[in-house]
Amino acid sequence: MSRATLASLDMSLYPLVWEQQTFIDSQQFLMAILTQSAEIKPEDFTKLLLNNPVYQEWINATVFGRYIQRSFAAFYQQTEDSFNMDMPALFRNELTRHAQYLPLHQTLFFAGEMPKSVRQERLFTTTVNPATALAAAEKLNQHSLQSGRASHPSLIINQLTIAGKQVMGFPIRHNKRTSERTRNEVLILDFRDLRLVNEEVIETSEIKKSNIAETILLRYYELR
């Protein structure tokens, strides 16, 4: 079957004017959020997305796709690893049938350590909302500190750039009336290669009024 390529969400969002500042791309906006030169809540960025015609096209791609997504929500409540292992092949095939190719240069985000299973399963969930990625990374860090797995506050945020034409994704249409509405997720269903191309350490201890962890590890990936 022929498969369409989604329009570029980043090209429709940027340049972005926020708090009397102009950001040329998602990378610049993410850095501004992490260094607190700009502040935005997940729900505020979600509002920007819901008012964006390209994002509306993304989440309303197919009627049957929305039905499949709602059924998928039950599986999604699990952690990534157990979700990947338990997801029935038939159900994944049905999701893949309604997936589309993601546009070149589109930016996605993922919070925390990238699971080793991702490259084997070729299946994981990302977000197009940088504020949501930061909030998720902070939640993961708090959990690590409370469980004793981490000794000092540190966050890991992964920025993924679509660098190939065969990356298959399924934008998830969340219920606007629930807390899920700020997830703004894209389920990655197939790709050929996931490559770490760079990483950057951001020290937040020198940032005035910083309430973010002492260290942020920002990893850059290319997805083909």
CA gap 116, 191 in Å, rounded: 15
- Would you say how long the chain is, in residues? 224
CA gap 2, 7 in Å, rounded: 16
Which residues, listed in sequence order, are joined to residue 198 by a DSSP beta bridge? 220
Please determine, for residue 204, whether its predicted confidence score (pLDDT) is greater than 90: no
Please determine, for residue 32, whether its predicted confidence score (pLDDT) is greater than 70: yes
Asked if 128 contacts 109 with a C-beta cutoff of 8 angstroms, the reply is yes
φ, ψ (nearest 5 deg) of residue 63: -65, -45
pLDDT digit string, tens, across residues 5-31? 999 999 999 999 999 999 999 999 999
Task: State residue 30's pLDDT score.
Answer: 95
φ, ψ (nearest 5 deg) of residue 10: -60, -40
Q: Which of 159 and 204 is assigned the larger pLDDT?
A: 159
CA gap 175, 100 in Å, rounded: 21
Which residues, listed in sequence order, are joined to residue 188 by a DSSP beta bridge? 124, 169
